[in-house]
Structure 1
Amino acid sequence: MSDKTPKSRGLGRGLSALMADIGPAEDAAAPETPARRAETTVPLDRIVPNPDQPRRRFAEEELEELARSIKARGILQPLIVRPDPAREGQYQIVAGERRWRASQRAQLHDVPVIVRDLNDLEVLEVAIIENIQRADLNPVEEAAGYRQLLERFGHTQDQLAEALGKSRSHIANAIRLLKLPEEVQSLVREGQLSAGHARALITVSDPAAIARQVVARALSVRETEALVRKAAQEDDGGTRPRKRSARAADKDADTRALEGDLSAMLDTKVSIEHEPGGERGRLVIQYNSLEKLDELCNRLSGG
């Protein structure tokens, strides 16, 4: 896709109109509802998937169930497509790839579509939002979608959070998962690790080794955090004070949540050490290079 989309366009502008076309999710088990009127029908072989579709995995059982429903009732919600910018006479899916795949299994020749002239940013916005709202992307797919919007189109995390109805810390924490090794990301995609497990592994020196232990022992997120603390202490040669580790483990949920928000905002580990029974404490911001220190100073000074 081209990167020539105008930068001045505000993220999320016009999304209500785009999402009005998409309508509710098509569900094989749902009661029959009036079909949205399609503008035309298009042969399946003239439709291609969106190469930037954030969803990479489609559950086989769900596709088979939807294919059976389509055979019996047809497609209730037309696909949203746009003229393919790379191939004349072809169409690119904006929303409805799951229906397109199921239609192939149902051996349909033509499918109902609504054709829209959308730019690259609008296509990507709809693809991400449709998946988040309908079928829940796995955390890695969700993070990859966010990163596409941020890096390819130059929008800020604040703009993205506002457009998608998410908190800024949610966006930042999601994107941090993409720093994990591919082996760990694969375990998240397959559902063997949750986003909570994965976030706990970001700061360890060998996330893949810890991840294998977590999966093999079916550890909870809290148990994973304890394993990570133990690994960190071993990395320090056992010199980390035990008292401090115990105090960190006793932090209340609000303090841990605030640490998470600050860590996401600054893109580095932040620790809050509050003195029990008082109003004093320390805020510790870690960095692992002088370049990172420069970046932190820039952010904290508003540069």
Structure 2
Amino acid sequence: MTEKKRGGLGRGIDAIFSDFEADEINSENVVEINLNEIRPNPYQPRKEFDEASLDELAQSIRENGVFQPIVVRKSVNGYQIVVGERRFRASKIAQRKTIPAIVRDLDESQMMEIGVLENLQREDLNPIEEAQAYQTLIEKLHLTQEQISEKLGKSRPYIANYLRLLTLPPKTKQLLTDSKLTMAQARTLLTFKDPNKIDQVAQMVVDQGLTVRQLEKMVAQPQPKTSKKNTNKKSPFIKETEEQLINKFGTSVRVVDTKGGKGKIQIDFSSTKDLNRILELLNISLN
């Protein structure tokens, strides 16, 4: 088992899952664990669980039991779920006392990687959950966008576009989470830099049922002229720096070159909670 742990990160999610499948074939490795001893994976990217889907799964479990064991790891107080939180939740709804499980010897990083990537491969996360999952892999496991794209078989621009959604203001994020806005509409709204403007137009899109094409026409309308200082083209280095900072902090970042080798960096935040998140990324503690 030590050899597996040493090669866990970077092996690829398919390789790790193949280990699980091999274990599941051997029924001796499956044990029944009391549900009250199990805790959810703290790195579970899915925050919204469809109640109707869970009830349907719970009914199946009542009639047929749990066919596929969940995967857990031992923790200080019982067990933590690595894979299978839907089955765990549905089993609780079905009022089962135990659930079949495979106990794996995984460290914190491996549990995070497997839990996040497994959910991303299922492709049923909402856009904000998916974006936050990518951000977790970048912040906690120090993976690059390129590494994430290789693991998931998705292009780097695809990953970058989702990460940009994290710069949306909270009200617009919620509209996207609630499926009142589409991914394409949300990306178009990012053209506006003012968070209040984004929220205003986003609500207009919802209220008036505007299509992406109609929204694009609105965005293409001439904007108020800005001073020459603000219209100066940014160098490729400044643009790349801004992109890296946006991916790092998950919010809008502007790098301004004021000439003479001097400049400033502006990092936007939408709430006190958001500010504390950014301070944590900078290893700044106000306690």
Distance in 2 separating the partners of 1:114 and 1:198: 40
Aligned residue pairs total: 229
Indicate if the aligned counterparts of 2:73 and 2:81 stay in contact, CA closer than 8 A: yes
Structure 1 vs Structure 2: percent identity of aligned residues?
A: 41
Question: In the alignment, residue 63 of structure 1 is paired with which amino acid?
Answer: L
Shift in Å, 1:119: 2.1
* Gap runs ≥5 in structure 1: 1-7, 24-33, 238-262, 269-286, 295-303
Indicate if the aligned counterparts of 1:21 and 1:80 stay in contact, CA closer than 8 A: no
Aligned to 2:186: 198
* Gap runs ≥5 in structure 2: 1-5, 227-238, 245-252, 262-287
Shift in Å, 1:125: 2.1
Distance in 1 separating the partners of 2:218 and 2:26: 52
Q: Cα RMSD (Å) of the superposition? A: 2.8
Q: 5 Å matches for 1:1-303?
A: 11-20=9-18, 37=27, 39-84=30-75, 87-88=76-77, 90-204=78-192, 205=194, 206-230=197-221, 233-236=222-225, 267=243, 288-290=254-256
TM-score if structure 2 supplies the norm length?
Answer: 0.72
Distance in 1 separating the partners of 2:254 and 2:57: 50
Shift in Å, 1:41: 0.8
Distance in 1 separating the partners of 2:26 and 2:68: 6
Indicate if the aligned counterparts of 1:47 and 1:92 stay in contact, CA closer than 8 A: yes
Cα 1:160/1:135, change in 2 over 3 Å? closer
Q: Tell me whether 129-138 or 114-123 shows the greater mean CA deviation.
A: 129-138
Indicate if the aligned counterparts of 1:36 and 1:76 stay in contact, CA closer than 8 A: no
Cα 1:122/1:132, change in 2 over 3 Å? same
- Aligned to 1:290, what secondary structure does the other structure show? strand
Question: In the alignment, residue 79 of structure 1 is paired with which amino acid?
Answer: I
Distance in 2 separating the partners of 1:264 and 1:127: 30
Distance in 2 separating the partners of 1:178 and 1:136: 18
Distance in 2 separating the partners of 1:101 and 1:35: 24
Distance in 1 separating the partners of 2:30 and 2:186: 44
Distance in 1 separating the partners of 2:113 and 2:85: 15
Cα 1:67/1:159, change in 2 over 3 Å? same
Shift in Å, 1:21: 5.2
TM-score if structure 1 supplies the norm length?
Answer: 0.68
Shift in Å, 1:222: 1.8
Greater percentage in helix: 2
Distance in 1 separating the partners of 2:117 and 2:187: 23
Distance in 1 separating the partners of 2:115 and 2:69: 15
Cα 1:139/1:22, change in 2 over 3 Å? farther
Distance in 1 separating the partners of 2:162 and 2:136: 13
Distance in 2 separating the partners of 1:292 and 1:69: 64
